[in-house]
Structure 1
Amino acid sequence: MENDDILLISSIKRITEREIFLLMENFDSFKEIRNCDADEISKRLGIRKNILSDIKNERFNEELLKRINSLNIKIIPYTDSNYPEKLLRYNPFPPVLYARGDVSLLKKSGIAIVGSRRCSYYGKGIAEEFGKRLSLNDIVVFSGMALGIDRYAHVGALNGKGNTVAVLGTGIDVIYPASNKDIYEKMIKKGCIISEFPPGTGPFKQNFPFRNRIIAGLSQGVLVVEAAYKSGTFKTVKWALDFGIDVYAIPGDINRITSQGTDLLIREGAIPIVSVNDLMGYLVRKEEKTVDMKAEIAPELEGINKKVYNKVKSNPIHFDMIIEQTGLSISELSNAVMNLELLGLIEKLPGNYYRRV
């Protein structure tokens, strides 16, 4: 399925991620879907019939494609080589991402820097310093381009090498808040901006907590600079904990409201960070441990299992493509992928795709 087709599917009003996956798995093009009867699609796939009305709206479809092309928006489905394989480890992962800027940053090691929108001068300085120094050390800074800590983390990274990615809770073409237009324009040229929501999607409240899973999922760790007790930052922290991603926190003034949340996180087990070198030390040790674990697993494989494992990489590959590249029969490959799944080395994705864990 072509990227334009995926764009049109994901832009259908009120469509869910499950329904996007089903349409991508069962049809070769958007045109094929449009030529099918809505009742038939609904009955066969269990997709709600009322959401399929936009498929017939050719004018809407043409205008959307024109806007995408005029803004040079990149469409990255989960089967694309540019899709960050880190996200595929966690459910639910977005079926498609929209991007502007340098998409190579999505695959690089990085830290999410998050915190209060109403941050203190202390928090602003910390976010900028960490953003800049991490960027200068080729570590990508992930955040949500909100006011406060998010903004200053991006600003710091832009003042470094520009290694920063903003994950929006709106469409890729909607700047929110509008006061962040300056860094939005800079990040298109120097960093990267992504969104899982179709172009034109406004700042709907329910979308922001959900996009936080992408901020957490892209990172090796989440650093909370400042947060009050009831900060929305804790939603990102929860996603990180659910994914098994390390949470770091900056100790703060016990008398300051915006430090109460970070101090609470430290009491509950978050790793306290007192300098950039401190944080980078944790990242290096974590990376070395991951490499050692992978090295221990691979030599244990042999025969067909090893042959298949060598073909399945971090980016998804279709079952039929593995057959084509290995020359195995359907039954041989089915047994091999089942063995590798049981060993926890690969996993099956929607659409009969496989990837390394």
Structure 2
Amino acid sequence: MKKYPQNLSFSGNLELLKKTKISIVGTRKPSKYTRQFTQLLASTLSKHNICIVSGGAMGVDAVAHAGAGSSNTISVLPCGIDIKYPAVNKNLLSDIERDGLLLSQFEDGFKSRPWSFVTRNELVVALGEVLVVCEAELGSGSMRSVEFALEMGKEIFVLPQRLGESSATNELLNSNRAKAIYDIDKFVSRFSTELVPHVKKDDFLEYCKTNPTYEDALKKYPSKIFEAELNGEIIIMNAKVIVK
């Protein structure tokens, strides 16, 4: 950082600061695909003792914190540490305060301002070994985080997205300023001191991730569909199969 904070307020477990940390940011309105793989990325990192840092906002931030689990995540706030903002994430932030760590550069009672989000974003980026931008559009707040990462000389990673979506992450790839995470286990192994086991993929669950119709899934895997539903691995919604 060009200028380090003179004071930091905290509530929670300061031991998390000693861990290897990955910063995850992104849009407040992520697609279903982004939610699914942000959750998978954060949970896989957390399972290998890597702490997730994010900003406590709606969307990608909240999914990343939840995926990591409240005991292995750090949330940097754009307001006083006594204010749970945004209100929709009040329970999530309370869980992180109890089990994980909340950080703030602002005094108690300070309400967020447009500039305080930028200040918050800089600290989120500074705390991580690298920055992962899961989904973002050009001109968004996530791109300010990207600028901070470039200034700090930190590597930037993104989730691969479809053409016409997530314009910022696609542009970062196109300009060679970021790398895509095509294999989560391989990405995690870069930062984990533990061996990331190779888990053989379950063809049935991989098929279900394509959200087939219930009728098609029943025809293809008649003996597995009921068992998976009973075990809570999948749910049926609007005649579609969804992996939980």
Aligned counterpart, 1:266: 173
CA distance in 2, matches of 1:284, 1:128: 18
Aligned-partner SS, 1:223: strand
Aligned-partner SS, 1:172: coil
CA distance in 2, matches of 1:283, 1:135: 11
Aligned counterpart, 1:195: 104
Shift of 1:194: 0.4
For 2:68, give the aligned amino acid: A
Aligned-partner SS, 1:138: coil
For 1:123, give the aligned amino acid: T
Residue 183 of structure 1 pairs with residue 105 of structure 2: no
Question: For the aligned residues, what is the CA RMSD?
Answer: 1.5
Larger RCO: 1 or 2 (CA < 8 Å, sep 6+): 2
Residue 280 of structure 1 pairs with residue 208 of structure 2: no
Identity of aligned residues (%): 32
The residue correspondences of 1:44-193 to structure 2 (distance < 5 A) are: 90-158=1-69, 162-193=71-102
Shift of 1:190: 1.6
The question of whether the paired residues in 1 share the 8 Å contact of 2:48 and 2:192 is answered with: no
For 1:268, give the aligned amino acid: S
For 2:130, give the aligned amino acid: G
Shift of 1:282: 3.5
124, 129, 134: which is aligned to 1:215? 124
Cα distance 1:189–1:246, how it changes in 2: closer, same or farther (>3 A)? same
* TM-score for the superposition, normalised by structure 2: 0.75
Pair member with larger Rg: 1
CA distance in 1, matches of 2:35, 2:140: 16
CA distance in 2, matches of 1:163, 1:276: 18
CA distance in 2, matches of 1:127, 1:191: 19
Shift of 1:283: 3.1
Shift of 1:284: 5.7
Aligned residue pair count: 192
Gaps of 5+ in 1: 1-89, 286-357
For 1:97, give the aligned amino acid: L
* TM-score for the superposition, normalised by structure 1: 0.52
CA distance in 1, matches of 2:182, 2:174: 15
For 2:169, give the aligned amino acid: T
Shift of 1:177: 0.8
CA distance in 1, matches of 2:108, 2:186: 39
Aligned counterpart, 1:230: 139
CA distance in 2, matches of 1:94, 1:184: 22
Aligned counterpart, 2:149: 240
CA distance in 2, matches of 1:281, 1:238: 26
Aligned counterpart, 2:224: none
My pick for the range that moved more, 246-255 or 269-278, is 269-278
CA distance in 2, matches of 1:182, 1:148: 15
For 2:140, give the aligned amino acid: S
CA distance in 1, matches of 2:18, 2:112: 27
CA distance in 1, matches of 2:115, 2:138: 20
CA distance in 1, matches of 2:179, 2:39: 20
CA distance in 1, matches of 2:189, 2:170: 21
The question of whether the paired residues in 1 share the 8 Å contact of 2:9 and 2:81 is answered with: yes
Aligned counterpart, 1:328: none
